Amino acid sequence: MHLIGKTYFAALLFIAASHTSCGPHRAPDASADTIDNNPNADTIDNNSSSEAERAHGDAATDAKAPPRADDGVAGGEAAAASASSNRAPARTETRELAVPGFGNALVVVPAGNEARPLLLAAHGAGDSPRWQCRHWDAAMRGRFIILCPRGVALSSGDDPGYFFRNHIELEREVTAALAALKKELGGRISPSDGVYSGYSQGATMGALMVVAHGTDFPHLVLVEGGSGDWTAGRAKQFRETGGKSVAIVCGTPNCAKRGERSVAILEKAGLRARVEHVEQGGHVYDGRVGERATELLDGWVFGG
């Protein structure tokens, strides 16, 4: 009996260790969406062989590295980014926004009654609207009204992590959230200079659907996703609906290679386009990768 007891106890320890290593999040429908729960990567496969339907990442081979001397944005762009970082932060309030048919979005609203442009931040698989709103709130310092859609919960719990089923569902949720926000804030949202920012899955799926919404989001900041999903047709559609600029920010080599090819397609369609590779930045949206995205938004999208 003593031997059986030891064997049973060891089995329990093995099961506990196995559950711990799997991570806290699972996809609601593994047959439809396969999600890698590595905390440094967001991947999703919507039963499609198209690269455009997958969120890409190279987190397994990328490691953090100390800042490099050439990692800043040069010239006037660096000056514009520096001026933004020195700007006194405006007081902001984060609140929930009811979105009919979807989970509540989060909204960061600067104090006062002044109209501000909109920045929509779409998270990656396993990420959260709370983290995206917190990240962009700290970076933008009250310059934008920030809208962060929720997506679908990966599991039950207080903070389960969320994902978007596909780009069609993302488009439906973004459209519904934008309508709810306009109803609540009305004239506080500036009709120009809207920004769509997506990370990983939010960028990959966003690049597919946002081309039809250039009026609301003429500027794109795509971080570690959406870099290889551009065709001549999508680029033309984005420009014709009001699109103006596309900034692609990569922390992994594959993202950067795809981005270089996409820039040529985007520029041929008459759009401003740029890809930035933060070497060894990794599949993340914060750290040096996030800093570069902020610099580009301040110094190139609006400062160039």
DSSP assignments along 134-178, one per residue: HHHHHHHTTSSEEEE---EESSSSSS--EE-S-HHHHHHHHHHHH
Query: What does the alpha-carbon distance between residue 283 and residue 273 come to, in Å, rounded to a whole number?
Result: 21
User: Strands 145-148 and 219-223, how do they pair?
Assistant: unpaired
Query: What does the alpha-carbon distance between residue 45 and residue 186 come to, in Å, rounded to a whole number?
Result: 37
Residue 46 pLDDT exceeds 50: no
pLDDT at 39: 33
Query: What does the alpha-carbon distance between residue 38 and residue 216 come to, in Å, rounded to a whole number?
Result: 33
pLDDT band for position 224 (cuts 50, 70, 90): very high
Residue 75 CB: number of other CB atoms within 10 A? 9
Of the candidate ranges 111-120, 153-162, 245-254, the one whose mean pLDDT is the lowest:
153-162
Can you list the positions of beta strands (E) in 140-293? 145-148, 152-153, 162-163, 195-199, 219-223, 245-250, 272-277
CATH classification number, 87-301, choose in 3.40.50.1820, 1.10.10.60, 3.30.70.2740, 3.30.450.20: 3.40.50.1820
Of the candidate ranges 45-49, 99-103, 163-167, 226-230, the one whose mean pLDDT is the lowest:
45-49
**Domain range list for the chain:** 87-301
pLDDT at 78: 42
To the nearest 10 degrees (0 to 180), the angle between helices 201-209 and 167-185 is 80
Vertex 272 angle, CA 49 and 297, to 5° = 95
φ/ψ of 222, rounded to 5, equals -105, 115
For 59-93, the three-class secondary structure string (H helix, E strand, C coil) is HHHCCCCCCCCCCCCCHHHHHHHHHHHHCCCCCEE
Query: What does the alpha-carbon distance between residue 274 and residue 246 come to, in Å, rounded to a whole number?
Result: 7
User: How confident is the model over 138-156, as a mean pLDDT?
Assistant: 94
Q: Which residue has the tokens 């997958």?
A: 54
Residue 266 CB: number of other CB atoms within 10 A? 27
pLDDT at 12: 35
Query: What does the alpha-carbon distance between residue 80 and residue 82 come to, in Å, rounded to a whole number?
Result: 5
pLDDT at 304: 61
pLDDT in tens, 100-143: 999 999 999 999 999 999 999 999 999 999 999 999 999 999 99
pLDDT in tens, 12-40: 333 333 333 333 232 333 222 223 333 33
| Nearest by Cα to 152 from 215, 111, 103 | 103
Residues 6+ apart with CB under 8 A from 76: 299, 303, 304
Beta bridge partners of 249: 223, 276
Looking at per-residue pLDDT, the higher value among 26 and 161 belongs to 161
Looking at per-residue pLDDT, the higher value among 134 and 44 belongs to 134
pLDDT above 70 as % of the chain: 70
User: How confident is the model over 168-178, as a mean pLDDT?
Assistant: 98
Beta bridge partners of 197: 121, 221
Alpha carbon distances (Å) from 232 to 113, 237, 239, 264, 276? 41, 9, 11, 10, 21
Of the candidate ranges 61-70, 182-191, 256-265, the one whose mean pLDDT is the lowest:
61-70
Mean of all residue pLDDT scores within the chain: 78
